[in-house]
Amino acid sequence: MADTLLKGGEYLIADSQSEDVFTPEDFSDEQRQFGDTTEQFVTNELVPRIEEIDNQNFDIVVEGMRKCGELGLLMMDAPEEYGGLDLDKASSMLVAERIAISGSFSVAYSAHTGIGTLPLIYYGTHEQKQKYLEKLITGEWCSAYCLTEPGSGSDALGAQASAILSEDGSHYVLNGTKQYITNGGFAQLFTVFAKIDKEHFTAFLIERDFEGLSVGPEEKKMGIKGSSTTPVILDNCKVPVENVLGEIGKGHKIAFNVLNVGRFKLGAAVTGAAKAALETGIKYGNERVQFKKKISSFGAIKEKIADLTADIFAAESLIYRLAGLLDDKLATIEKGIDDYYVQYQKGIEDYAAECGISKVFCSEVLARTVDEVVQIHGGYGFVSDYPAERYYRDERINRIFEGTNEINRLLIPGMILRKAMKGELPLQAEAMKAFESLMTPSFEELDDSLPFAAEKALITNLKTLFLILAGTGVQKFMDKIADEQEILMAAADIAIQIFALESAVLRGEKVLPSYSERRQELLKATIRIFAFRASETAGSAARKGAFYIEEGDTLTMILSGVRRFSKYDATGLLAAKRLVADAASEDEKYIFC
């Protein structure tokens, strides 16, 4: 456990220590075994059947889920009392990452183990867990989560599905349609949200065979074709009162809290997919010859490989740093207490902003990766005979799943600012200091003898930049800042880059002494590549935000601060990219596995 546990959002105003950060290099033998078991299962039993799965042979998916149950891959988050393993988040994320190479199957797996099962674990009664949980964690049953409707997506509370208590008080009668339900074609248990008396938003556990529930036809999708996505129709569906999940009228807690874990787990899954896609691109680059040379030897291709390697390193660092934060936080909660899962959910909710960051950053890393892998393949990347085409189609949904990236970008600064307004984060005082620094010249000299000194200075400066932008925005718009979506999204982009860069640097600082000389050079080069990208991205977002908020002399002063605080000396960047690209091409994979 970390000696000093930062609260959610506190990374923006406090320094983290590398020894407190969990990294992939910290995995125990047991955790690595789970990862290896998952990878072997996927490689041997699912990857060879990806085409069949994409042709919607759901028997393979259901069979695969049962095999996952036998291997213990469905019970990692379930309490031991009900036959689960109750493992840490780092282990759960490692499995999610490794299973991602199974393509559409990973969608079914993630939906089942995440939003499909966690509501029952977190909010179910003892009787509900006894009745259903063993079936779910063994793979006997698959699960689905029914929140979205034809008229309500991100606006979950705008749902129209209704529930009315029967005259004898024995059951509720539900009516409505749920849309885009993952695992809908074969799930046996559905977590369904509806409004009791058209007012009290509530969750229900509904079995497939309950009277009045039917499943519509499979959606014809752009990608993830091998995952089941259907409407679920409730036509006077009778649900026993004992199948109300959680408190009546408190369904929003279930919907939103479970999505925090879903966003985090999606971040891990897409990082695993990015590694697989990059490996495919590198191998093709080594095979394809043009002008009598492997295309992987061309500078234009090398730059792509180097940039993607650095992006994935940052994504991986971010995911496992967050896993460590959550595990440390949850370890402070005494198991067995009556309100254990209430406190558990509060612990996760504290890092809701970071969960949103992981979803946005990692899904966009995958988006860049698959796009560049198609480009490396040229025309062959556009035909289905090569996996690059499937990677490209399958990727697109991840920027929509678990709340669109736009919604998450609004939530990230929104949640941080709400904490500040509640007095949980001293953001206002820090913002005032940051604004004062605009008028204070800086003559700080870097100690080049310390590893990552320039990158650490950049992180500090980007935090100052975020505080200037957020503070100026709040000062101008006050409580109406929530309506200024363009400003919030610009602030989110800075916050995202800070967390990603800091995660990469802290990991680098922690593991550098244990690396060989060659890997040390690769590590330093990779972090330099990503730091340059982060400085450019954050600086661009800050400039845009400044123009959105201010004008005149104040704008001029802030823009001057943007130039100053996003500055990064990336001397040697080209050499760093060539070094990383050559190593990746030689190893034919992501080099930090």
> What is the residue-wise DSSP string for 270-333?
HHHHHHHHHHHHHHHHHH-EETTEEGGGSHHHHHHHHHHHHHHHHHHHHHHHHHHHHHHHHTTS
Helix (H) or strand (E) holding 585: helix 573-587
Rounded distance between C-alpha atoms, residue 545 and residue 141, angstroms = 49
Longest dimension (CA), the chain: 81
Write phi, then psi, for 404 (nearest 5 degrees): -55, 160
Q: Are 416 and 495 in contact (CB under 8 A)?
A: yes
- Chain position carrying tokens 């040379």: 293
Inter-residue contact 13 to 467 (CB < 8 Å): yes
Contact 254, 245 (CB under 8 A): yes
Q: At what angle do helices 299-330 and 517-549 cross, to 10 degrees?
A: 80
Cα separation values, 342 from 246, 330, 350, 480, Å:
11, 11, 12, 31
Structure tokens at 411: 């939530």
The H or E element that residue 522 is part of is helix 517-549
Residue 368, Cβ density class (10 Å: 0-12 exposed, 13-18 middle, ≥19 buried): middle
Quote the CA–CA distance of 176 and 59 in Å, as a whole number. Answer: 28
Residue 203 DSSP SS3: strand
Within 13 Å, how many C-alpha atoms sit on residue 26's CB side? 20
- Tell me how far apart the alpha carbons of residues 146 and 406 are, in angstroms, rounded to a whole number: 21
Q: Of 97, 354, 402, 430, which is the active-site residue?
A: 402
- 219 catalytic? Reply is no
* CB atoms near residue 198 (< 10 Å): 11
Just list the catalytic residues. Answer: 402
